[in-house]
Structure 1
Amino acid sequence: MDEQLTAAADMAAHRQPAFPGESADYAKARQDLLAAEIEFRRHMTRLTAQRQALPPGPLITKDYRFKDEQGFEVGLIDLFGDKDVLVSYYWMYGPERERPCPMCTNWIGAVDGNAADIKQRVAYKILSRSPVERQFAFAQERGWRNTDFIQTIGDDYARDLDLLQPDGEYPALIVYRRDGDQVRLFWMSEMGREMADPGQDPRDAPDIAALWSILDLTPQGRPTGIRSCAIDHCRHPRGSGDPSPDDAIMRQVRRWVPAFAGMTTGNQISARPRRSSAPYPAASGAALPGSDRPCGPPDNI
Protein backbone atom coordinates (compact mmCIF):
# COMPACT_ATOMS: atom_id res chain seq x y z
CA MET A 1 0.00 0.00 0.00
CA ASP A 2 2.80 2.44 0.88
CA GLU A 3 4.27 2.08 -2.64
CA GLN A 4 1.08 3.60 -4.08
CA LEU A 5 1.19 6.66 -1.85
CA THR A 6 2.47 10.01 -3.00
CA ALA A 7 5.74 10.96 -1.35
CA ALA A 8 5.14 13.00 1.78
CA ALA A 9 7.55 15.69 0.61
CA ASP A 10 5.61 16.05 -2.65
CA MET A 11 2.35 16.38 -0.76
CA ALA A 12 3.83 18.95 1.61
CA ALA A 13 4.94 21.02 -1.38
CA HIS A 14 1.26 21.92 -1.89
CA ARG A 15 1.28 23.87 1.37
CA GLN A 16 -0.28 27.34 1.15
CA PRO A 17 0.67 29.72 3.98
CA ALA A 18 -2.33 31.18 5.80
CA PHE A 19 -0.59 34.43 6.78
CA PRO A 20 1.78 36.63 4.79
CA GLY A 21 5.24 37.51 5.97
CA GLU A 22 6.85 34.07 6.42
CA SER A 23 10.63 34.09 6.33
CA ALA A 24 12.36 31.67 3.99
CA ASP A 25 13.69 29.77 7.01
CA TYR A 26 10.21 29.40 8.54
CA ALA A 27 8.65 28.35 5.23
CA LYS A 28 11.24 25.63 4.65
CA ALA A 29 11.14 24.38 8.24
CA ARG A 30 7.33 24.29 8.25
CA GLN A 31 7.17 22.45 4.94
CA ASP A 32 9.71 19.90 6.19
CA LEU A 33 7.65 19.50 9.38
CA LEU A 34 4.48 19.05 7.32
CA ALA A 35 6.13 16.20 5.41
CA ALA A 36 7.14 14.61 8.71
CA GLU A 37 3.57 15.04 10.01
CA ILE A 38 2.23 13.25 6.93
CA GLU A 39 4.68 10.39 7.53
CA PHE A 40 3.66 10.31 11.20
CA ARG A 41 -0.02 10.12 10.23
CA ARG A 42 0.75 7.22 7.91
CA HIS A 43 2.72 5.47 10.65
CA MET A 44 -0.20 5.90 13.07
CA THR A 45 -2.50 4.40 10.45
CA ARG A 46 -0.21 1.39 10.07
CA LEU A 47 0.08 1.06 13.86
CA THR A 48 -3.71 1.10 14.21
CA ALA A 49 -4.05 -1.59 11.55
CA GLN A 50 -1.40 -3.69 13.31
CA ARG A 51 -3.29 -3.38 16.60
CA GLN A 52 -6.60 -4.29 14.97
CA ALA A 53 -4.96 -7.36 13.42
CA LEU A 54 -3.91 -8.82 16.77
CA PRO A 55 -4.82 -12.53 17.05
CA PRO A 56 -7.34 -13.53 19.73
CA GLY A 57 -6.04 -12.63 23.18
CA PRO A 58 -6.24 -14.84 26.27
CA LEU A 59 -9.61 -15.79 27.69
CA ILE A 60 -10.46 -14.14 30.99
CA THR A 61 -11.33 -17.25 32.94
CA LYS A 62 -11.52 -15.82 36.44
CA ASP A 63 -14.99 -14.76 37.57
CA TYR A 64 -14.27 -11.16 38.53
CA ARG A 65 -17.23 -9.52 40.22
CA PHE A 66 -18.31 -5.90 40.08
CA LYS A 67 -21.09 -3.59 41.21
CA ASP A 68 -22.67 -1.59 38.40
CA GLU A 69 -24.28 1.84 38.42
CA GLN A 70 -27.51 0.43 39.85
CA GLY A 71 -25.69 -1.42 42.62
CA PHE A 72 -26.24 -4.87 41.11
CA GLU A 73 -23.48 -7.47 41.26
CA VAL A 74 -22.34 -8.37 37.74
CA GLY A 75 -19.58 -10.20 35.93
CA LEU A 76 -17.08 -8.84 33.44
CA ILE A 77 -19.16 -9.89 30.44
CA ASP A 78 -22.16 -8.00 31.81
CA LEU A 79 -20.21 -4.75 31.53
CA PHE A 80 -20.38 -5.06 27.73
CA GLY A 81 -24.13 -4.48 27.62
CA ASP A 82 -25.15 -4.92 23.98
CA LYS A 83 -21.66 -4.15 22.66
CA ASP A 84 -18.90 -6.51 21.54
CA VAL A 85 -16.03 -4.39 22.87
CA LEU A 86 -15.43 -2.99 26.35
CA VAL A 87 -13.00 -0.10 26.88
CA SER A 88 -12.15 0.10 30.58
CA TYR A 89 -10.00 2.42 32.65
CA TYR A 90 -9.07 1.56 36.21
CA TRP A 91 -8.43 4.82 38.01
CA MET A 92 -6.54 5.56 41.18
CA TYR A 93 -9.43 6.26 43.55
CA GLY A 94 -9.36 3.46 46.07
CA PRO A 95 -11.40 3.69 49.30
CA GLU A 96 -8.31 4.70 51.27
CA ARG A 97 -7.85 7.86 49.16
CA GLU A 98 -9.34 11.19 50.17
CA ARG A 99 -9.21 12.42 46.57
CA PRO A 100 -8.47 10.66 43.27
CA CYS A 101 -5.24 10.93 41.35
CA PRO A 102 -5.03 14.27 39.48
CA MET A 103 -3.89 12.68 36.23
CA CYS A 104 -6.64 10.05 36.34
CA THR A 105 -9.06 12.92 36.96
CA ASN A 106 -7.68 14.78 33.97
CA TRP A 107 -7.85 11.71 31.72
CA ILE A 108 -11.45 10.84 32.61
CA GLY A 109 -12.56 14.46 32.36
CA ALA A 110 -11.15 14.76 28.85
CA VAL A 111 -12.83 11.55 27.68
CA ASP A 112 -16.15 12.36 29.36
CA GLY A 113 -16.91 14.97 26.70
CA ASN A 114 -16.76 12.26 24.03
CA ALA A 115 -18.13 9.39 26.11
CA ALA A 116 -21.67 9.62 24.71
CA ASP A 117 -20.31 9.23 21.19
CA ILE A 118 -17.82 6.54 22.22
CA LYS A 119 -20.63 4.49 23.78
CA GLN A 120 -22.47 4.36 20.48
CA ARG A 121 -19.74 2.00 19.27
CA VAL A 122 -18.32 0.30 22.38
CA ALA A 123 -18.99 -0.09 26.08
CA TYR A 124 -16.96 2.35 28.17
CA LYS A 125 -16.53 1.89 31.93
CA ILE A 126 -14.42 3.44 34.67
CA LEU A 127 -13.41 0.96 37.38
CA SER A 128 -12.33 1.57 40.95
CA ARG A 129 -12.28 -0.16 44.32
CA SER A 130 -14.35 2.72 45.73
CA PRO A 131 -18.15 2.39 45.87
CA VAL A 132 -20.01 3.62 42.81
CA GLU A 133 -21.79 6.25 44.93
CA ARG A 134 -18.47 7.75 45.95
CA GLN A 135 -17.20 7.82 42.37
CA PHE A 136 -20.45 9.33 41.12
CA ALA A 137 -20.35 12.03 43.79
CA PHE A 138 -16.93 13.09 42.54
CA ALA A 139 -18.20 12.99 38.95
CA GLN A 140 -20.98 15.39 39.91
CA GLU A 141 -18.42 17.69 41.51
CA ARG A 142 -16.43 17.69 38.27
CA GLY A 143 -19.51 18.08 36.05
CA TRP A 144 -19.02 14.75 34.28
CA ARG A 145 -22.26 13.62 32.64
CA ASN A 146 -21.46 10.72 30.32
CA THR A 147 -19.17 8.41 32.28
CA ASP A 148 -20.27 5.08 33.79
CA PHE A 149 -18.60 4.04 37.05
CA ILE A 150 -18.10 0.49 38.29
CA GLN A 151 -16.84 -0.85 41.62
CA THR A 152 -14.59 -3.88 41.70
CA ILE A 153 -15.71 -6.30 44.41
CA GLY A 154 -12.68 -7.23 46.47
CA ASP A 155 -9.12 -6.66 45.33
CA ASP A 156 -8.60 -9.64 43.03
CA TYR A 157 -9.02 -7.66 39.82
CA ALA A 158 -6.53 -4.99 40.83
CA ARG A 159 -4.10 -7.49 42.32
CA ASP A 160 -4.12 -9.81 39.32
CA LEU A 161 -3.33 -6.87 37.04
CA ASP A 162 -0.48 -5.70 39.33
CA LEU A 163 -2.33 -2.47 40.02
CA LEU A 164 -1.88 -2.80 43.79
CA GLN A 165 1.78 -2.59 44.67
CA PRO A 166 3.53 -2.14 48.02
CA ASP A 167 3.98 1.55 47.16
CA GLY A 168 0.32 2.05 46.24
CA GLU A 169 -2.13 1.94 43.37
CA TYR A 170 -1.68 2.22 39.60
CA PRO A 171 -4.05 2.89 36.68
CA ALA A 172 -4.80 0.61 33.72
CA LEU A 173 -6.32 1.14 30.29
CA ILE A 174 -7.66 -2.19 29.00
CA VAL A 175 -9.78 -3.16 25.99
CA TYR A 176 -11.74 -6.42 26.16
CA ARG A 177 -13.52 -8.27 23.37
CA ARG A 178 -16.60 -10.46 23.61
CA ASP A 179 -16.15 -13.98 22.23
CA GLY A 180 -19.55 -15.64 22.37
CA ASP A 181 -20.38 -15.98 26.05
CA GLN A 182 -16.74 -15.44 27.05
CA VAL A 183 -14.39 -12.48 27.29
CA ARG A 184 -10.93 -12.11 25.78
CA LEU A 185 -8.26 -9.51 26.26
CA PHE A 186 -7.88 -7.46 23.07
CA TRP A 187 -5.30 -4.85 24.09
CA MET A 188 -3.83 -3.41 27.26
CA SER A 189 -1.47 -0.50 27.77
CA GLU A 190 1.88 -2.15 28.50
CA MET A 191 4.47 0.61 28.28
CA GLY A 192 6.39 0.20 31.52
CA ARG A 193 9.17 2.27 33.04
CA GLU A 194 11.86 0.18 31.36
CA MET A 195 10.41 1.17 27.95
CA ALA A 196 11.02 4.90 28.36
CA ASP A 197 13.50 6.59 26.04
CA PRO A 198 16.21 8.74 27.67
CA GLY A 199 14.71 11.90 29.11
CA GLN A 200 11.16 10.80 28.36
CA ASP A 201 8.44 8.80 30.05
CA PRO A 202 6.87 5.51 28.83
CA ARG A 203 3.61 7.12 27.71
CA ASP A 204 1.38 5.30 25.27
CA ALA A 205 1.67 5.92 21.56
CA PRO A 206 -0.47 7.58 20.51
CA ASP A 207 -0.86 9.47 23.78
CA ILE A 208 -4.58 9.40 24.56
CA ALA A 209 -4.38 12.12 27.22
CA ALA A 210 -5.70 15.27 25.54
CA LEU A 211 -3.75 17.47 27.96
CA TRP A 212 -0.37 16.34 26.67
CA SER A 213 -1.47 16.17 23.02
CA ILE A 214 -2.54 19.81 23.15
CA LEU A 215 0.60 20.94 24.98
CA ASP A 216 2.71 19.12 22.37
CA LEU A 217 1.34 21.61 19.81
CA THR A 218 2.71 24.59 21.74
CA PRO A 219 6.17 26.18 21.64
CA GLN A 220 6.96 25.07 25.21
CA GLY A 221 5.56 21.56 24.76
CA ARG A 222 4.90 19.39 27.78
CA PRO A 223 6.97 20.36 30.86
CA THR A 224 10.32 18.59 31.04
CA GLY A 225 10.20 15.52 33.25
CA ILE A 226 6.40 15.35 33.42
CA ARG A 227 4.99 11.87 33.12
CA SER A 228 1.61 11.23 31.54
CA CYS A 229 0.59 8.42 33.88
CA ALA A 230 0.61 7.89 37.64
CA ILE A 231 1.87 10.26 40.32
CA ASP A 232 4.21 9.01 43.02
CA HIS A 233 3.09 11.68 45.47
CA CYS A 234 -0.28 9.92 45.49
CA ARG A 235 1.55 6.94 46.98
CA HIS A 236 4.59 8.35 48.77
CA PRO A 237 4.24 11.05 51.43
CA ARG A 238 7.48 12.97 51.48
CA GLY A 239 9.35 12.53 54.70
CA SER A 240 10.85 16.01 54.89
CA GLY A 241 10.01 19.56 53.99
CA ASP A 242 12.97 19.88 51.65
CA PRO A 243 11.97 20.75 48.10
CA SER A 244 12.49 18.06 45.48
CA PRO A 245 13.65 18.69 41.90
CA ASP A 246 10.09 18.01 40.82
CA ASP A 247 8.80 21.07 42.70
CA ALA A 248 10.13 23.23 39.88
CA ILE A 249 8.46 20.98 37.33
CA MET A 250 5.10 21.31 39.03
CA ARG A 251 5.50 25.07 39.23
CA GLN A 252 5.96 25.02 35.45
CA VAL A 253 2.83 22.93 35.10
CA ARG A 254 0.84 25.41 37.17
CA ARG A 255 1.99 28.28 34.98
CA TRP A 256 1.20 26.50 31.73
CA VAL A 257 -1.81 24.46 32.81
CA PRO A 258 -4.04 26.10 35.44
CA ALA A 259 -5.83 22.77 35.85
CA PHE A 260 -2.98 21.63 38.08
CA ALA A 261 -3.44 24.36 40.64
CA GLY A 262 -4.90 21.77 43.04
CA MET A 263 -1.67 19.78 43.18
CA THR A 264 0.68 20.22 46.12
CA THR A 265 4.40 20.66 45.54
CA GLY A 266 6.79 17.76 45.60
CA ASN A 267 4.88 15.69 43.07
CA GLN A 268 6.99 13.06 41.47
CA ILE A 269 5.38 11.42 38.51
CA SER A 270 6.41 7.98 37.39
CA ALA A 271 5.33 4.95 35.47
CA ARG A 272 3.99 1.69 36.75
CA PRO A 273 6.89 -0.41 38.07
CA ARG A 274 7.88 -3.88 37.05
CA ARG A 275 6.03 -6.71 38.69
CA SER A 276 7.08 -6.88 42.31
CA SER A 277 7.54 -9.98 44.43
CA ALA A 278 6.80 -7.96 47.58
CA PRO A 279 3.44 -8.51 49.28
CA TYR A 280 0.45 -6.55 48.08
CA PRO A 281 -1.15 -3.85 50.20
CA ALA A 282 -3.97 -4.71 52.55
CA ALA A 283 -7.45 -5.51 51.26
CA SER A 284 -9.93 -2.79 50.29
CA GLY A 285 -10.66 -0.40 53.10
CA ALA A 286 -7.22 -0.63 54.68
CA ALA A 287 -4.70 2.15 54.31
CA LEU A 288 -2.14 2.00 51.53
CA PRO A 289 1.30 3.57 51.87
CA GLY A 290 1.01 7.28 51.24
CA SER A 291 -2.77 7.34 51.54
CA ASP A 292 -2.63 9.60 54.57
CA ARG A 293 -1.70 12.48 52.35
CA PRO A 294 -4.59 13.70 50.16
CA CYS A 295 -3.98 14.08 46.48
CA GLY A 296 -6.12 16.96 45.26
CA PRO A 297 -7.53 16.82 41.73
CA PRO A 298 -6.96 19.46 39.10
CA ASP A 299 -9.75 21.85 39.96
CA ASN A 300 -9.82 24.27 37.06
CA ILE A 301 -10.07 22.15 33.93
Structure 2
Amino acid sequence: MERRFPNESDEYRRARDALLEDEKELRRRVEAVAAQRRALPPGGEIREDYAFGEWDPSVGGVRTVRLSELFEDGRDTLFLYNFMFLPGPDGPVETPCPDCTSIVDGVDGAVPHLRQHINVAVVAKAPAERLTAHAHARGWRHARLLSSRNTTFNADYRAEGPDEAQVPMAHVFVRRDGRIRHFWSSELLMVPSEPGQYPRHVDFMWPMWAILDRTPAGRGGDWMPSLTYPVPGVSRSSG
Protein backbone atom coordinates (compact mmCIF):
# COMPACT_ATOMS: atom_id res chain seq x y z
CA MET A 1 0.00 0.00 0.00
CA GLU A 2 1.28 3.46 -0.92
CA ARG A 3 2.20 5.31 2.27
CA ARG A 4 2.98 8.71 0.82
CA PHE A 5 0.85 11.69 1.74
CA PRO A 6 0.24 14.79 -0.41
CA ASN A 7 3.35 16.87 -1.23
CA GLU A 8 5.70 15.10 1.18
CA SER A 9 9.39 15.13 0.32
CA ASP A 10 11.66 12.12 -0.16
CA GLU A 11 13.54 13.26 2.95
CA TYR A 12 10.37 13.11 5.01
CA ARG A 13 9.44 9.66 3.65
CA ARG A 14 12.87 8.21 4.42
CA ALA A 15 12.73 9.53 7.99
CA ARG A 16 9.16 8.39 8.44
CA ASP A 17 9.92 4.88 7.14
CA ALA A 18 12.84 4.61 9.57
CA LEU A 19 10.55 5.71 12.40
CA LEU A 20 7.96 3.18 11.26
CA GLU A 21 10.46 0.36 11.73
CA ASP A 22 10.99 1.48 15.32
CA GLU A 23 7.23 1.76 15.84
CA LYS A 24 6.82 -1.81 14.61
CA GLU A 25 9.51 -2.99 17.02
CA LEU A 26 7.81 -1.09 19.86
CA ARG A 27 4.52 -2.81 18.97
CA ARG A 28 6.23 -6.19 19.17
CA ARG A 29 7.71 -5.31 22.56
CA VAL A 30 4.36 -4.06 23.88
CA GLU A 31 2.73 -7.35 22.90
CA ALA A 32 5.58 -9.38 24.41
CA VAL A 33 5.42 -7.48 27.71
CA ALA A 34 1.63 -7.89 27.81
CA ALA A 35 2.04 -11.65 27.40
CA GLN A 36 4.68 -11.68 30.16
CA ARG A 37 2.30 -9.75 32.41
CA ARG A 38 -0.56 -12.16 31.76
CA ALA A 39 1.73 -15.07 32.69
CA LEU A 40 2.51 -13.75 36.17
CA PRO A 41 2.08 -16.40 38.89
CA PRO A 42 -0.56 -15.83 41.59
CA GLY A 43 0.20 -12.82 43.76
CA GLY A 44 -0.35 -12.43 47.48
CA GLU A 45 -3.78 -13.09 48.95
CA ILE A 46 -5.39 -9.96 50.41
CA ARG A 47 -4.76 -9.69 54.14
CA GLU A 48 -8.31 -8.55 54.85
CA ASP A 49 -11.59 -7.96 53.09
CA TYR A 50 -11.27 -4.17 53.07
CA ALA A 51 -14.40 -2.22 54.01
CA PHE A 52 -14.73 0.73 51.63
CA GLY A 53 -17.25 3.54 51.90
CA GLU A 54 -19.60 4.22 49.00
CA TRP A 55 -22.12 7.04 48.71
CA ASP A 56 -25.63 5.63 48.38
CA PRO A 57 -28.04 8.22 46.94
CA SER A 58 -31.04 6.03 47.78
CA VAL A 59 -30.46 6.62 51.48
CA GLY A 60 -28.50 9.86 51.27
CA GLY A 61 -25.58 8.39 53.16
CA VAL A 62 -22.50 6.19 52.99
CA ARG A 63 -22.73 2.41 52.97
CA THR A 64 -19.99 -0.15 53.50
CA VAL A 65 -18.80 -2.23 50.55
CA ARG A 66 -16.27 -5.00 51.02
CA LEU A 67 -13.57 -5.56 48.44
CA SER A 68 -14.99 -9.04 47.82
CA GLU A 69 -18.35 -7.48 46.93
CA LEU A 70 -16.75 -5.58 44.05
CA PHE A 71 -16.47 -8.87 42.14
CA GLU A 72 -19.76 -9.29 40.31
CA ASP A 73 -21.02 -12.59 38.94
CA GLY A 74 -19.11 -13.72 35.89
CA ARG A 75 -16.28 -11.21 36.35
CA ASP A 76 -13.34 -12.43 38.42
CA THR A 77 -10.97 -9.54 37.70
CA LEU A 78 -11.02 -6.19 39.48
CA PHE A 79 -9.21 -3.05 38.33
CA LEU A 80 -8.78 -0.35 40.99
CA TYR A 81 -7.31 3.11 40.54
CA ASN A 82 -6.09 5.10 43.55
CA PHE A 83 -7.29 8.68 43.12
CA MET A 84 -5.35 11.37 45.00
CA PHE A 85 -6.60 14.35 46.95
CA LEU A 86 -3.85 16.87 47.63
CA PRO A 87 -3.17 18.39 51.07
CA GLY A 88 -4.93 21.68 51.71
CA PRO A 89 -4.91 24.38 54.39
CA ASP A 90 -7.80 22.85 56.32
CA GLY A 91 -6.63 19.29 56.68
CA PRO A 92 -4.80 16.36 55.06
CA VAL A 93 -7.44 15.84 52.36
CA GLU A 94 -8.57 18.85 50.39
CA THR A 95 -8.09 19.40 46.64
CA PRO A 96 -8.77 16.76 43.96
CA CYS A 97 -5.61 15.96 42.04
CA PRO A 98 -5.75 17.52 38.53
CA ASP A 99 -3.76 14.61 37.06
CA CYS A 100 -6.02 11.95 38.58
CA THR A 101 -9.03 13.99 37.48
CA SER A 102 -7.73 14.06 33.90
CA ILE A 103 -7.29 10.29 34.00
CA VAL A 104 -10.78 9.52 35.29
CA ASP A 105 -12.30 12.12 32.93
CA GLY A 106 -11.20 9.79 30.14
CA VAL A 107 -11.70 6.44 31.85
CA ASP A 108 -15.26 7.14 33.00
CA GLY A 109 -16.68 6.89 29.50
CA ALA A 110 -14.86 3.59 28.91
CA VAL A 111 -16.26 1.93 32.05
CA PRO A 112 -19.42 0.52 30.38
CA HIS A 113 -17.18 -1.16 27.82
CA LEU A 114 -14.70 -2.43 30.42
CA ARG A 115 -17.48 -3.86 32.55
CA GLN A 116 -18.26 -6.33 29.79
CA HIS A 117 -15.07 -8.08 30.93
CA ILE A 118 -13.90 -6.83 34.33
CA ASN A 119 -14.95 -4.91 37.43
CA VAL A 120 -13.69 -1.32 37.70
CA ALA A 121 -13.57 1.12 40.63
CA VAL A 122 -11.86 4.34 41.72
CA VAL A 123 -10.61 4.50 45.31
CA ALA A 124 -9.65 7.63 47.25
CA LYS A 125 -8.58 8.30 50.83
CA ALA A 126 -11.01 11.23 50.84
CA PRO A 127 -14.49 10.77 52.33
CA ALA A 128 -17.00 9.17 49.97
CA GLU A 129 -19.07 12.35 50.01
CA ARG A 130 -16.10 14.42 48.84
CA LEU A 131 -15.20 12.07 46.00
CA THR A 132 -18.83 11.82 44.89
CA ALA A 133 -19.23 15.60 44.87
CA HIS A 134 -16.14 15.93 42.68
CA ALA A 135 -17.50 13.25 40.34
CA HIS A 136 -20.75 15.17 39.95
CA ALA A 137 -18.83 18.38 39.23
CA ARG A 138 -16.85 16.60 36.49
CA GLY A 139 -19.86 14.84 34.99
CA TRP A 140 -18.64 11.30 35.70
CA ARG A 141 -21.50 8.85 35.28
CA HIS A 142 -20.07 5.33 35.21
CA ALA A 143 -17.04 4.83 37.45
CA ARG A 144 -17.71 3.21 40.81
CA LEU A 145 -16.35 5.51 43.53
CA LEU A 146 -15.07 4.24 46.86
CA SER A 147 -13.44 5.71 49.95
CA SER A 148 -10.60 3.87 51.67
CA ARG A 149 -10.60 6.43 54.47
CA ASN A 150 -11.00 3.97 57.35
CA THR A 151 -8.86 1.17 55.92
CA THR A 152 -5.19 0.38 55.43
CA PHE A 153 -5.71 -0.38 51.74
CA ASN A 154 -3.75 2.62 50.43
CA ALA A 155 -0.80 1.95 52.72
CA ASP A 156 -0.85 -1.81 52.09
CA TYR A 157 -0.81 -1.37 48.30
CA ARG A 158 1.77 1.42 48.13
CA ALA A 159 -0.70 4.19 47.32
CA GLU A 160 0.31 6.10 50.43
CA GLY A 161 3.67 7.11 51.86
CA PRO A 162 4.77 6.98 55.51
CA ASP A 163 3.65 10.60 55.84
CA GLU A 164 0.19 9.63 54.47
CA ALA A 165 0.88 11.48 51.23
CA GLN A 166 -1.22 9.89 48.49
CA VAL A 167 0.25 8.21 45.40
CA PRO A 168 -1.55 7.46 42.10
CA MET A 169 -1.43 3.69 41.70
CA ALA A 170 -3.36 1.24 39.54
CA HIS A 171 -4.02 -2.31 40.72
CA VAL A 172 -5.49 -5.55 39.44
CA PHE A 173 -6.94 -8.21 41.75
CA VAL A 174 -8.26 -11.63 40.75
CA ARG A 175 -10.68 -14.06 42.38
CA ARG A 176 -9.95 -17.76 42.10
CA ASP A 177 -11.77 -20.48 44.02
CA GLY A 178 -13.26 -17.90 46.36
CA ARG A 179 -9.86 -16.39 47.24
CA ILE A 180 -8.82 -12.89 46.20
CA ARG A 181 -5.22 -12.24 45.26
CA HIS A 182 -3.25 -9.26 44.08
CA PHE A 183 -2.23 -9.71 40.44
CA TRP A 184 -0.46 -6.52 39.30
CA SER A 185 0.18 -2.90 40.30
CA SER A 186 1.78 0.00 38.45
CA GLU A 187 5.14 -0.43 40.18
CA LEU A 188 6.91 1.47 37.42
CA LEU A 189 6.20 4.54 39.56
CA MET A 190 8.59 3.15 42.17
CA VAL A 191 11.45 2.80 39.70
CA PRO A 192 13.56 5.95 39.21
CA SER A 193 13.01 7.41 35.75
CA GLU A 194 15.96 7.82 33.45
CA PRO A 195 16.91 11.44 32.59
CA GLY A 196 14.32 13.15 30.47
CA GLN A 197 11.68 10.49 31.02
CA TYR A 198 8.28 10.59 32.67
CA PRO A 199 7.22 7.87 35.13
CA ARG A 200 4.62 6.60 32.58
CA HIS A 201 3.27 4.09 35.11
CA VAL A 202 -0.37 4.96 34.34
CA ASP A 203 0.05 6.21 30.77
CA PHE A 204 -1.84 3.12 29.60
CA MET A 205 -5.06 4.62 31.04
CA TRP A 206 -4.24 8.27 30.24
CA PRO A 207 -4.60 8.72 26.46
CA MET A 208 -3.91 12.46 26.60
CA TRP A 209 -0.16 11.77 26.70
CA ALA A 210 -0.31 9.27 23.84
CA ILE A 211 -1.87 11.96 21.66
CA LEU A 212 0.62 14.67 22.69
CA ASP A 213 3.55 12.27 22.12
CA ARG A 214 2.59 12.23 18.45
CA THR A 215 2.82 16.00 18.00
CA PRO A 216 5.95 18.09 17.25
CA ALA A 217 6.02 19.68 20.71
CA GLY A 218 5.40 16.43 22.56
CA ARG A 219 4.36 16.67 26.18
CA GLY A 220 5.26 20.31 26.47
CA GLY A 221 8.05 20.24 29.04
CA ASP A 222 6.69 20.72 32.56
CA TRP A 223 3.05 21.19 31.54
CA MET A 224 0.51 19.20 33.53
CA PRO A 225 -3.31 19.10 33.48
CA SER A 226 -5.43 21.57 35.41
CA LEU A 227 -8.91 21.36 36.89
CA THR A 228 -9.97 24.41 34.86
CA TYR A 229 -8.76 26.14 31.70
CA PRO A 230 -9.39 29.55 30.16
CA VAL A 231 -12.24 29.56 27.67
CA PRO A 232 -10.80 29.98 24.15
CA GLY A 233 -11.40 33.49 22.84
CA VAL A 234 -12.23 34.88 26.27
CA SER A 235 -9.64 36.97 28.09
CA ARG A 236 -8.73 36.16 31.68
CA SER A 237 -10.04 39.55 32.76
CA SER A 238 -13.47 38.88 31.29
CA GLY A 239 -16.39 38.28 33.63
Is 2:182 the partner of 1:185?
yes
Is 2:97 the partner of 1:97?
no
Q: Which amino acid aligns with 2:7?
A: G
2:51 paired residue among 57, 60, 65: 65
Q: Which amino acid aligns with 2:101?
A: T
Alignment size in residue pairs: 220
> Which ranges in structure 1 are unaligned for 5 or more consecutive residues?
1-13, 225-248, 254-259, 263-296
Which whole-Å CA distance do the structure 1 matches of 2:32 and 2:203 have between them? 12
Give the RMSD, CA atoms, in angstroms.
2.3
Which whole-Å CA distance do the structure 2 matches of 1:185 and 1:86 have between them? 10
Is 2:200 the partner of 1:213?
no
2:103 paired residue among 102, 107, 120: 107
- Write out aligned runs for 1:144-183 (5 A): 144-165=140-161, 166=163, 168-183=165-180
Which whole-Å CA distance do the structure 2 matches of 1:164 and 1:123 have between them? 23
Contact 1:126/1:147, CA 8 A, preserved across alignment: yes
Quote the residue 1:142 is aligned against: 138
Q: Which amino acid aligns with 1:217?
A: R
Which whole-Å CA distance do the structure 2 matches of 1:167 and 1:64 have between them? 18
Contact 1:115/1:124, CA 8 A, preserved across alignment: yes
Query: What's the CA shift string for 1:114-135, capped at 9, x where partnerless?
Result: 1111111110000012232321
Which whole-Å CA distance do the structure 1 matches of 2:202 and 2:133 have between them? 32
Query: What's the CA shift string for 1:243-268, capped at 9, x where partnerless?
Result: xxxxxx34xx5xxxxxx4x4xxxxxx
> Which ranges in structure 2 are unaligned for 5 or more consecutive residues?
57-61, 232-239
SS of the equivalent of 1:99 reads: strand
Quote the residue 2:42 is aligned against: 56
Which whole-Å CA distance do the structure 2 matches of 1:116 and 1:299 have between them? 28
Query: What's the CA shift string for 1:163-186, capped at 9, x where partnerless?
Result: 332272212100000112221111
Quote the residue 1:289 is aligned against: none
**Percentage of matched positions with identical amino acids:** 34
Query: What's the CA shift string for 1:59-116, capped at 9, x where partnerless?
Result: 1122321123433323211112222000000111277333211100011111112111
| TM-score normalized with structure 2 length | 0.83
Structure with the largest fraction of strand? 2
Pair 1:66–1:118, CA change in 2 (3 A): same
Kindly state the Cα deviation for residue 204 of structure 1 after the two structures are TM-superposed: 2.4
Pair 1:142–1:104, CA change in 2 (3 A): same
Pair 1:194–1:148, CA change in 2 (3 A): closer
Q: Which amino acid aligns with 1:63?
A: D
Which whole-Å CA distance do the structure 2 matches of 1:62 and 1:135 have between them? 23
Pair 1:193–1:164, CA change in 2 (3 A): closer
Kindly state the Cα deviation for residue 162 of structure 1 after the two structures are TM-superposed: 3.4
Q: Which amino acid aligns with 1:169?
A: Q
Q: Which amino acid aligns with 1:151?
A: S
2:6 paired residue among 7, 11, 20: 20
Quote the residue 1:195 is aligned against: 192
